[in-house]
Chains A and B, each alone.
Chain A
Amino acid sequence: MRTTGSEIVVGIVANPASGRDVRRLVSGASVFDNAEKGAMVYRALAGLGAAGVGHALVMPAPGGVSESLARQLRARAATPAGGPFPELETLPLELAHDARDTVRAVELMRERGVGAIVVLGGDGTHRAVAAASGDVPLCALSTGTNNAFPELREATVAGLAAGLVASGRLGPQTVRREKALAIALDGTPVDLALVDVATSGERWVGARAVWRPETARELVVARASAAAIGLSAIAGLIEPVSARDPHRLHLRLGPAGASWRTVHVPLAPGLVVEVGIEEVRRVERGVPLELAPLRGSIALDGERELEVGPDDHVTVTVGDGPVTIDVEAAMTEAAMRGLLVTEGPSGR
């Protein structure tokens, strides 16, 4: 296999646990195939190699992802043609088989000076990556269930864009700083969310997903697209907030039909539910917002993560989040600058 020989390093995180939660039983979601994730990693590598990336650090991904990638690589090795391909290195990581693996992998990638990280997962995976990614640009690809943060995109093209950004050949407008919602418990930072924070009357984290609208009480969104799916769509269908807007929205929810407004929300694939809205207000960045005390749980980007009691003070503060790659902008700039064009002998 031909390698590029360059010094440019890119990290790849593919979460083997994304896209298989309880929403397969309560909505029309289907399992996101781990073999397909492995194939996506392979396609991203092809894009990275073509963009001149010499070395790729990959988080070990059991459960079918690594195995599928290995199959793709064997097939490639047996094929005479093929463009340049990064040298692959699987990170030496002792797996805990939970989100800590992702955080640790991203920390190791930063220590090794990666120029970008390609992430395959859902909102939950990206939340774990963002906790550790700092200023490293992320190429956020969706392989989860209700994805408001990562994008559904062909991995080959995403790999090209990430490789071009990592090699420093594109301008600053091809990446952007996202917002994040910092969660503090009694004044101590505990976690962050990229899209939304909701309180739920369900007392335990359990199967994590929030799919019963009647259990949700309050919602804070960092961004809310009217075309989103999941909790952020509740806000998005009332007052869309783009990733570039300075403010966020805070909503108090109530019983459908008996509240000030009732919104028909796509809460999960195949699941459109009625959600009552009691109050909507804008909150500016940097100002901590205290959530109403409750016995229940706090959901971050649609997954219950924290169990809380009435004496816990939970605050949400909007601030800086991870840096992401705008694939469309990156590829447009690459085209304008002819980065993927070679002049032939018959060129004019």
Chain B
Amino acid sequence: MRTIREFEERLHIECATGDIPGFVHLYAGEEAIAAGVCAHLRQDDWIGSTHRGHGHAIAKGCDVVAMMKELYAKRDGLCGGKGGSMHVADFDVGMLGANGIVGGSPPMVCGVGLSAKVRGTDQVGVAFTGDGGSNEGAFLESLNLAAVWGLPCVFVVENNGYAESTSSLFHQSGIDVAKRADGFGVAGVTVDGHDFFAVWEAAGEAIRRARAGAGPSLVECKVVRYYGHFEGDAQTYRAPGEAEQAREDRDCLAHFRARVLGSELLEEADLAAIDEDVLALVERAVVEARSAPDPEPADLLTDVYVRY
């Protein structure tokens, strides 16, 4: 959670320098979701992400330095520097990839579920999408497919109330995402996406059910994101102060800190040590990314075709 925040806050600064090519969509504010869900996953479980994938990738265990190099389009980035922010993937840790297609991951994660089911493993697939994604035909088809085949899939809807710049009021008829799951016979719940423990408990039950063969579930996480749809978004569609208010009142890291200290699960020193490690890691990631070599012209044709 802390690593994701620092990674995103640092990108917010670095994007403004113009050194990072391509679009960047920041996850800041939503960290409790990626962390609360992925804390229950094993390395051999799979996730499918969104165009806003940094948080999911970090929570699933992708290498932070290699991710930063990927965003800087460097040769030893996680995908050879040819994918960038919206295609960060690492099959070794079960990260199927960020995905530029809205609602693109749910069908892929049905594939994960089918594979696990056919092979008789107890692996689980988790698809992240947003409120905009939950309007996509592919998302609704995936709910149906996962339900009818009883696939070990969990659909996590990060509902920030906007599909890019369009409020849910104007893009969603029957703005009741948890109920959409019900319509397909999939268990659906809604939790506060700012509350790590709320997400962690609900996702834990959803993943436990999937692993035990009880079929798919949907976890809708209501959340207010701190930055706009993409870096540079003027956010004229948002109420003034909406993000600032959420940062002030509902920040997942502040809540987590208050709770783990209040209940004596962790001490100040533990959190300070994490802060220090994270700051050093992200600093190293940026420094190494800046000085890393660019891909060569010959690299253009590598990784284009896969031999099965």
**A residues within 8 Å of B by Cβ?**
17, 20-26, 30-31, 33-35, 62-64, 67-68, 96-97, 203-208, 295, 307, 309
Contacts and interface: CB of A to CB of B under 8 A. Distances in A.
Contacts of B191: 21-22, 207
A206 B188 contact: no
A204 B176 contact: no
A25 B187 contact: yes
B263 A31 contact: no
B263 A203 contact: yes
Counting chain B CB atoms within 10 Å of each CB, which of A31, A33, A203 scores highest?
A: A31
Contact of B197 (A20, A24, A31, A206): A206
Given A25-B205, A26-B205, A205-B198, A35 B259 contact: no
Given A20-B190, A22-B202, A64 B263 contact: no
Interface in B240-288: 249, 259, 262-265
Interface stretch (B13-21, B52-60, B87-95, B167-175): B167-175
Interface of B: 168-169, 173-176, 178-179, 181-182, 187-191, 195, 197-198, 200-202, 205-206, 209, 217, 220, 222, 249, 259, 262-265
Contact of B205 (A22, A64, A208): A22
Nearest to B263: A203
B265 A203 contact: yes
Contact of A63 (B175, B198, B205): B175
A206 B194 CA distance: 11
A67 B181 CA distance: 19
21 contacts: A20-B188, A21-B191, A24-B189, A25-B205, A25-B206, A31-B188, A33-B176, A33-B179, A34-B174, A34-B176, A35-B179, A62-B175, A64-B174, A67-B175, A68-B174, A204-B259, A204-B263, A207-B201, A208-B198, A307-B263, A309-B263
Contacts of A206: 195, 197-198, 200-201
Contact of A204 (B175, B197, B220): B197
A307 B259 contact: yes
Contacts of B195: 205-206
Nearest to A207: B201
Counting chain A CB atoms within 10 Å of each CB, which of B200, B205, B220 scores highest?
A: B205
Contacts of B262: 307, 309
Contacts of A17: 190
A64 B195 CA distance: 23
A108 to B, nearest CB: 20
- Nearest 6 CB-CB pairs, A to B? A207-B201, A206-B197, A25-B205, A64-B176, A204-B197, A20-B190
Contact of B179 (A64, A203, A295): A64
Contacts of B174: 34-35, 64, 67-68
Contacts of A34: 174-176, 179
A22 B263 contact: no
Nearest to A64: B176
Nearest to A94: B239
Given A68-B174, A206-B200, 13 more contacts: A22-B189, A22-B205, A23-B189, A25-B189, A31-B182, A34-B175, A35-B176, A203-B259, A204-B197, A205-B197, A205-B198, A206-B197, A309-B263
Counting chain A CB atoms within 10 Å of each CB, which of B179, B188, B264, B265 scores highest?
A: B179
A27 to B, nearest CB: 10
B181 A31 contact: yes
B264 A295 contact: yes
A113 to B, nearest CB: 30
B259 A207 contact: no
Contact of B264 (A23, A35, A207, A309): A309
A207 B219 CA distance: 12
A67 B201 contact: no
A64 B180 CA distance: 12
A280 to B, nearest CB: 30
A206 B200 CA distance: 8
A164 to B, nearest CB: 32
B175 A64 contact: yes
Contacts of B265: 203
A123 to B, nearest CB: 17
A63 B259 contact: no
A303 to B, nearest CB: 11
Contacts of B206: 25
A73 to B, nearest CB: 16
B198 A207 contact: yes
Contacts of B249: 96
B153 to A, nearest CB: 14
B208 to A, nearest CB: 8
B184 to A, nearest CB: 12
A207 B217 CA distance: 16
A206 B198 CA distance: 4
Contacts of B259: 203-204, 307
B36 to A, nearest CB: 10
A20 B178 contact: yes
B263 A295 contact: yes
